[in-house]
């Protein structure tokens, strides 16, 4: 287990399949530890109603996004549904230099890229207690049609096979227990 002094200025990456509860776990962590800076992604998509530039996302024109990629200004990036998404390097490095713990909640491919672009980070894979529980959670959201659910579950099966690539694997069965374990992995007291 990591000691508390090492938490300051450390990058932690958390990933796992859709529906595993990353957002819920991260929200609980940030409530307990407001000093942690949750990275804000950049995107080429247009802002949705209520989204704020620099808070929800950094909204960039495609050309500016491409310039950031070419200059090494992103720790990771990918294209989904015709839009690009990525993690800007500068704010991450600035917060780390200030001694703040930084958390990236990103997809598997992004975590793999960060492993190469920022090898000093700690990578945590979040998995469900069982595949049946993951399916129950995804279906319980009530936000996707059957075709989308099947796609998410197929992708989850592939993603779950990647857990051995990570520094630590955390089972998200009981939220309080998972939160306590995450705090330990991050060196938070």
Contact partners, residue 96, CB within 8 Å, separation at least 6: 9, 10, 11, 102
CATH architecture of 4-186: 3-Layer(aba) Sandwich (3.40)
Inter-residue contact 120 to 55 (CB < 8 Å): no
pLDDT at 24: 94
Residue 142: how many other CB atoms lie within 10 Å: 6
pLDDT digits (tens, 9 = 90+) for 95-148: 999 999 999 999 999 999 999 988 889 999 999 999 999 999 999 888 888 998
Phi, psi torsion values for 125, nearest 5 degrees: -105, 125
pLDDT digits (tens, 9 = 90+) for 79-105: 887 899 999 999 999 999 999 999 999
CA distances from 108 to 32, 44, 83, 113 (A): 26, 20, 18, 9
pLDDT at 8: 63
Q: What gap in Å lies between CA 181 and CA 46, rounded to an integer?
A: 37
pLDDT at 189: 66
pLDDT at 126: 97
Q: What gap in Å lies between CA 22 and CA 41, rounded to an integer?
A: 16
E-assigned strand segments in the chain: 11-15, 37-38, 42-43, 58-59, 74-80, 83-88, 102-105, 122-127, 168-171
């Amino acid at each position: 287990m990591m000691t508390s002094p090492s938490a300051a200025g450390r990058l932690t990456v958390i990933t796992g399949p859709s529906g595993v509860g990353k957002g819920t776990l991260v929200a609980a962590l940030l409530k307990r530890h407001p000093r942690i800076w949750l990275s804000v992604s950049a995107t080429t998509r247009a802002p949705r109603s209520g989204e704020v530039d620099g808070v929800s996302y950094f909204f960039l024109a495609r050309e500016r996004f491409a310039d950031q990629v070419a200059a090494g200004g992103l720790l990771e990036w990918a294209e989904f549904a015709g839009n690009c998404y990525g993690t800007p390097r500068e704010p991450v490095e600035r917060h780390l230099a200030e001694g703040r713990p930084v958390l990236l909640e990103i997809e598997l491919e992004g975590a793999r890229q960060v492993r190469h672009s920022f090898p000093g980070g700690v990578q945590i894979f979040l998995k469900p207690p069982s595949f049946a529980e993951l399916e129950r959670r995804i279906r319980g959201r009530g936000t996707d049609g059957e075709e989308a659910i099947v796609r998410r579950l197929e992708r989850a099966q592939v993603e779950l096979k990647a857990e051995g690539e990570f520094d630590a694997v955390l089972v998200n069965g009981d939220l309080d227990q998972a939160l306590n374990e995450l705090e330990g992995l991050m060196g938070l007291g």
